[in-house]
Every structure is written in C-alpha cells, then in structure tokens.
C-alpha cells in the first residue's frame, strides 16, 4: 500500500523531479554527509551494519540510538529538524 505522498509523486512526475533535484543538492551538503557518516560509523562499531537485523542508528533528542529501520525512516518526532520541517516547534 502506497502512502499519500508516494501516490502524489507517482502521478506528478514534475513534482517528483523537483523533489529529487532538491534532495540531491541537500544530501551533498557537508553537514549532511558528516551526519550520514557518523551514523554509518555507529552502525559499524555496533556490528549492525549490513548484517540484516533491520536496525539503524538514529539521531534523536537523547543522542544516537538504535531503531528498527522502518520506524527510523520518516520519523516525525525524534529530532528538531523533523519537527520544524513539519511546522511544529
């Protein structure tokens, strides 16, 4: 079952192209690369990188914690960035 946004982007290729272009530029930023690299390092150090256990390291208000990947992707409440991106304080 597709989410609302997945359905929207499937039926609006121009919007999907715009979103992909934005994400491509955003993920190239040094801050984002450093953040990703930090999480990969934590995953490797804890032995969960690529072992198929379904766990991800996640930045939260409590520091870096391990979560199920499915919960971590698109988390709406754990970090200030997630909250502010969705119009919350």
State how far the alpha carbon of 26 is from the alpha carbons of 10, 11, 20, 22, in Å: 22, 24, 10, 6
* Dist CA 36 CA 45 (whole Å): 14
Q: pTM (2 decimals)?
A: 0.63
Say how many domains are in the chain. Answer: 1
Residue 21 confidence (pLDDT) = 96
What mean pLDDT value characterizes the chain?
84
Residue 77 confidence (pLDDT) = 64
pLDDT band at 59 (very low <50, low <70, confident <90, very high): confident
User: How far does CA 6 lie from the centroid of its chain?
Assistant: 16
Q: Provide the domain limits for residue 76.
A: 4-85
User: Which residues does residue 57 pair with via DSSP β-bridges, in sequence order?
Assistant: 66
CB 69 within 8 A of CB 55: yes
> What angle in degrees, to the nearest 10, is found between the helix axes of 13-28 and 4-11?
110
């Amino acid at each position: 079952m597709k989410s609302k946004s997945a359905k929207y982007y499937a039926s609006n290729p121009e919007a999907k192209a715009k979103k992909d272009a934005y994400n491509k530029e955003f993920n190239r930023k040094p801050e984002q690369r450093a953040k990703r690299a930090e999480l990969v390092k934590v995953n490797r150090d804890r032995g969960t990188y690529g072992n198929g256990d379904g766990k991800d390291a996640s930045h939260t208000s409590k520091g870096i914690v391990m979560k199920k990947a499915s919960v971590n992707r698109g988390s709406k409440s754990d970090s200030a960035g997630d909250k502010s991106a969705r119009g919350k304080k």
